[in-house]
C-alpha cells in the first residue's frame, strides 16, 4: 500500500489516472486547496491537484511569468508547456495568491504561442480573502456558477444527492488523515515524514473511493505495528506549498523525523469537515471559505498561530522548520511572525528560503538543517 502512495506522491501522472482515462472518464485539474473537490467528484470526474513535480527547468515559464516570482506556479506552467498536463479535460483556477492567479493568463498565452495544450474546459473560481456574511453569500454564488459551468460543458447533472454522497466520502478521507496524525504523534513514530507526505499528497491525485480504502487498510496495519522510529528529534514543517517527498527526506536525513506539518499539501487540507445537513452547496462554500489556515485569508493570523501551537503540542515537537519559496510574500512575511512568537514560547525555529521542489538547493538546505538539529536540546 505504501508503494502505491509513493508512486502517486513522487510522480505527476500515475496508474490510477491512466486507468481512469482509459475508461473514458474525465480529469479536472485545480491549482489550490480552496477548490471544492466534492463538486468535481459529484460530477463523476476525477479532481487532480496540479503540481510542478518533475520540472527540471523554467525556460518556458520564465518567458511568460518573468524571473521574479514564486517557482511553484512557474513549474506548473513549465510542465503545461511541455505537454505534461495533456491528460486534463478541464482546469479550475483560483486567486489563491497572485502568482497562482497568473497561471490562468500565462497558460492561455503560452498555448496560443506554442500550439500547446490548453484544456477544453476552463473556469476561474473566485475566492474571497475574508469571511463575512456578504463574502459567504458571494462565494455560494460563485460555487453555484462552478457547478452550472461543469454541467453545461460536460453535459452532466450534479444533484444535491450527488453532492451529499461526495461530501460523505471526502469527510471520510479527512477523518482517516486525522487518524494518521494521531499515529504520527506516538512516541515511536510508525512512519517517516517523507512517506507520510506521499500518503497525504495521494489524496489529491487518485479516485477518492480507492484512496480511502487503501488508506484505511494502511492505517490498520500501522496501528497494529508497535515498532517505530525513536531517538530522533521531532520536527514540524510549515510554510509554502510543498509536494516534494524528497525535500522532506532531505530534512530528515539530518537525524530528525517530521511528525507534523501545517502545509496546504498537508494538514491544512483536511482539518475541517463539510456539514452533512442542509443545502450541500452552502455547506461546501462555508467549509472552504471558513478555512482560514492559509495566509491568503485576512485577519486570521492568531487563529493560524493557535493551530500551529496545538499541532506542536499534540505531536510533541522539538523544533519547527519554517520554509518559504523565494518570492512568496505571504508565507515569507508570516514565517517571521511565527519565528518571533514561537521562540518567545521556547520553541526552536529554523527559517529557510528555498526554490520549489525539484529546483531546491539541496546542499545549502542540508547544511542549515544540520546546524539546526545540532542546536536542539538533547
Q: Domain 16-158: which CATH class?
A: alpha beta
Size of the chain, expressed as the number of residues it contains: 378
Domain definitions of the chain by residue range: 16-158
Dist. CA 192–CA 134, nearest whole Å: 43
Q: Exposed/middle/buried for 321, CB within 10 Å: 0-12, 13-18, 19+?
A: buried
CB atoms within 10 A of CB 371: 11
pLDDT tens, position by position, for the chain (378 residues)?
A: 798 999 999 888 899 999 999 999 999 999 999 999 999 999 999 999 999 998 988 888 898 988 889 999 999 999 988 889 999 999 999 999 989 999 988 888 888 886 567 788 999 999 999 999 999 999 999 999 999 999 999 999 999 999 999 999 999 999 999 999 999 999 999 999 999 999 999 999 999 999 999 999 999 999 888 789 988 999 999 999 999 999 999 999 999 999 999 999 999 999 999 999 999 999 999 999 998 899 999 999 999 999 999 999 999 999 999 999 999 999 999 999 999 999 999 999 999 999 997 677 889 999 999 999 999 987
Question: H or E segment at 296?
Answer: none
Going from the C-alpha of 156 to that of each of 38, 70, 150, 152, the distances in angstroms are 15, 36, 8, 7
Cell of 204: 489529491
Amino acid at each position: 500500500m505504501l508503494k502505491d502512495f509513493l508512486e502517486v506522491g513522487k510522480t505527476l501522472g500515475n496508474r490510477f489516472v491512466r486507468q481512469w482515462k482509459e475508461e473514458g472518464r474525465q480529469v479536472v485539474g485545480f491549482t489550490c486547496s480552496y477548490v471544492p473537490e466534492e463538486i468535481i467528484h459529484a460530477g463523476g470526474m476525477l479532481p487532480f491537484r496540479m503540481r510542478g513535480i518533475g520540472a527540471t527547468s523554467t525556460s518556458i515559464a520564465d518567458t511568460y511569468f518573468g524571473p521574479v516570482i514564486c517557482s511553484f506556479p512557474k513549474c506548473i506552467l513549465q510542465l503545461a508547456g511541455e505537454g505534461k498536463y495533456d491528460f486534463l479535460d478541464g482546469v479550475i483556477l483560483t486567486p489563491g495568491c497572485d502568482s497562482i492567479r497568473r497561471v490562468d493568463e500565462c497558460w492561455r498565452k503560452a498555448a496560443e504561442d506554442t500550439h500547446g495544450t490548453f484544456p477544453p474546459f476552463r473556469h476561474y473560481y473566485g475566492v474571497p480573502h475574508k469571511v463575512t456574511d456578504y463574502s459567504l453569500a458571494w462565494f455560494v454564488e460563485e460555487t453555484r456558477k462552478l457547478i452550472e459551468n461543469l454541467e453545461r460543458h460536460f453535459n452532466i447533472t450534479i444533484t444535491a444527492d450527488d453532492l451529499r454522497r461526495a461530501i460523505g466520502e471526502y469527510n471520510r478521507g479527512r477523518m482517516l488523515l486525522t487518524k494518521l496524525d494521531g499515529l504520527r504523534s506516538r512516541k515511536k513514530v510508525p512512519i517517516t515524514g517523507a512517506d507520510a507526505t506521499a500518503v497525504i499528497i495521494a489524496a489529491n491525485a487518485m479516485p477518492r473511493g480507492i484512496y480511502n480504502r487503501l488508506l484505511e487498510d494502511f492505517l490498520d496495519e500501522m496501528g497494529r505495528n508497535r515498532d517505530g522510529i525513536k531517538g530522533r528529534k521531532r520536527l514540524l514543517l510549515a510554510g509554502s506549498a510543498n509536494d516534494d517527498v524528497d525535500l522532506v527526506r532531505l530534512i530528515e536525513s539530518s537525524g530528525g523525523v517530521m511528525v507534523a506539518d501545517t502545509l496546504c499539501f498537508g494538514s491544512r487540507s483536511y482539518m475541517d469537515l463539510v456539514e452533512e445537513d442542509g443545502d450541500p452547496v452552502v455547506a461546501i462554500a462555508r467549509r472552504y471559505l471558513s478555512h482560514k489556515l492559509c495566509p491568503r485569508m485576512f485577519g486570521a493570523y492568531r487563529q493560524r498561530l493557535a493551530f500551529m501551537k496545538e499541532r506542536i503540542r499534540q505531536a510533541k515537537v522539538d523544533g519547527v522548520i519554517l520554509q518559504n519559496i523565494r518570492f512568496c510574500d505571504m508565507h515569507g512575511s508570516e514565517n517571521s511572525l511565527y519565528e518571533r512568537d514561537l521562540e518567545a514560547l521556547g520553541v526552536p525555529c529554523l527559517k529557510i528560503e528555498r526554490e520549489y521542489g525539484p529546483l531546491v538547493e539541496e546542499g545549502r538546505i542540508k547544511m542549515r538543517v544540520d546546524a539546526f538539529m545540532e542546536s536542539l536540546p538533547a
